[in-house]
Amino acid sequence: MEKRLALYFLFVFCLWQGCAEISDTKYLKLAHGLDATHPVHRGMEYMAERLAEKSEGKLQIEIYPAQQLGTQRQALELLQIGSLAMTKASGAVMESFSPKIKVLSLPYIFKGRDHGYRVQDSEVGKDLLLESEKFWLRGLGYFDAGQRSFYTKDKPVESPKDLEGLKIRVQESVTAMDLVRSLGAAPTPISYGELYTALQQGVVDGAENNPPSFYTSRHYEICKYYSLNEHTAVPDILVIGTVAWNRLTPQEQIWLQEAADEAIAFQRKLWVEAEQEALDAVQAAGVTILRPDKSTFMEMTKGLLEEYKDDQEMFEVIQKIQAID
C-alpha cells in the first residue's frame, strides 16, 4: 500500500514538473496564406527569431503558412475568439473588420514606395493599426506588399479596355471589387490558396497581385501576361488577437512589439530584392511583362476616392495621407 502511495506521489510530482516546464515557454501560433518562400513569410521568421532571442526562448512564435489554418478572413475570426494568436492580413481584407482601413486599398493613394512607408510610420498609420482593437484585433505593424498589378491568362492588358468583360480574382474586399468594376472587368472574390486551381480551370481569366506573390504562388505558370499598372499598394498587416495580446505580460508585449518592428525594417529591405528577383524569374519562365500608361487607369478609378467626399471621417484620413510628403 505504501509503495503504491509513493508511486502515486511520484506520478503527481512528474506531472507537475512536466507542466511547469511546458508553462515556462509560451507559444504564439501565427497562421497565414502565403508560401514559405514569400518575403512576408521570411519577415515573420525573422520576427520569431528575434523574439526567441529577446525572451531567452520563453516566448516563441510557431508559423503555419500556406493557408493550413484557413483563409485570411477565417484566421482573423479565430483571432477574435482567441483560438489563434496571430496572422497577417492584407489591408484589403482587414477593411471588413475595421472600415477606415479601406483607405489603404484606394487606387494610387500613395505617391510611391517611400511615401507609403512614411504613411505607415506616421500617426495616421499607427491609428489605423489600433482602430481594429474595437473588433478584437490589434495591428502590430505593416509588412511591405509592394504594388498590385493585373496578370492574365490569354490577353495582354495594355489599357483598361483590355480588361473589359474579363473575370478577375480579387481578395474579399468591397473596395477591391469596386476598383476592378470601375475598370470594366468582373471581380470574383476567391481565396489566395484556391486561386491556382481557379485560374487553371478557367473560373477566372486573371488576377492582380505584387511580383513576389505572382511568382511564389506559381500563378505565372498559367498567366503569361503581367501588366505593371500598379493600381494599389495595399500593405500587409501583422495582427495579434486582443485576447492573445492580453494574455502576455507587459514585458512580453514589449518584446513582441520590438521583434515586430525589427522584422518590418528587415522585410522592407528584403522586399525590394524579392520584387526584382520575381520579375526576372517570371520573365525567364516566359511571361511577357507590360508597362502600360497608368494615366487611363488613374482616370477611370479616381471616382473611388471621390466617393468619400461626404464621409467626414474617411475624408479626413485621406487628406492626412495626401498631406504627408
State the residues that interact with ligand GCU by CB under 6 A.
Answer: 33-34, 40, 72, 90, 145, 171, 192, 209-210, 213, 236
Extract the C-alpha cell encoding 153.
491568362
Distances in Å between the alpha carbon of 104 and those of 234, 268, 296, 319?
Answer: 5, 17, 21, 13
Q: Could you tell me the three cell numbers for 57?
A: 526562448
Strands (E), the chain: 26-31, 59-64, 86-90, 137-143, 148-152, 167-170, 186-189, 206-209, 225-232, 236-241, 288-290
Of the pair 59, 222, the CB lying nearest ligand GCU is at 222
Q: Which is nearer to ligand GCU, 182 or 213 (CB)?
A: 213
Residue 54 beta carbon to ligand GCU: minimum distance, rounded to whole angstroms: 26
Q: Which residues pair with 143 in a beta bridge?
A: 236
Residue pair 86/240 in contact by the 8 Å Cβ criterion: yes
CB of residue 97 to ligand GCU, shortest distance in Å: 14
- What is the phi/psi pair of residue 105, to 5°? -100, 5
DSSP 100: G
Which residue is associated with the grid cell 475570426? 77
As measured in angstroms, the least distance from the Cβ of 32 to ligand GCU is: 8
| Cβ proximity to ligand GCU, 95 vs 252, nearer residue | 95
- Choose among 33, 39, 90: nearest CA to 215: 39
267: which 3 cell numbers? 522585410
- What minimum distance in Å lies between the beta carbon of 33 and ligand GCU? 5
> By C-beta, is 61 or 239 nearer to ligand GCU?
239
Distance in Å, CB of 142 to ligand GCU, minimum: 11
Minimum Å distance from CB 39 to ligand GCU? 9
In angstroms, what is the minimal distance from the CB of 148 to ligand GCU?
7
* In the complex, minimum distance from the CB of residue 149 to ligand GCU, in angstroms, rounded to a whole number: 12
CA angle, residues 90, 283, 198, in degrees to nearest 5: 50
Q: What share of the chain is helix, strand, coil (3-state, %, to 5)?
A: 55, 20, 25
Cβ distance to ligand GCU smaller for residue 171 or 267: 171
Strand order in the sheet with 86-90: 59-64, 26-31, 86-90, 236-241, 137-143
Q: Please say which residue, 98 or 210, places its beta carbon nearer to ligand GCU.
A: 210
Residues with Cβ within 8 Å of residue 300, at least 6 apart in sequence: 160, 182, 183, 184
Between residues 52 and 203, which has the closer beta carbon with respect to ligand GCU? Answer: 203
- Taking the complex as a whole, how short is the minimal distance between the CB of residue 238 and ligand GCU, in angstroms? 11
Q: Are 59 and 52 in contact (CB under 8 A)?
A: yes
Let me know if 139 is exposed, middle or buried by CB neighbors in 10 A (0-12, 13-18, 19+): buried
Nearer to ligand GCU, 230 or 236 (CB): 236
Pick the closer one to ligand GCU by CB: 145 or 179: 145
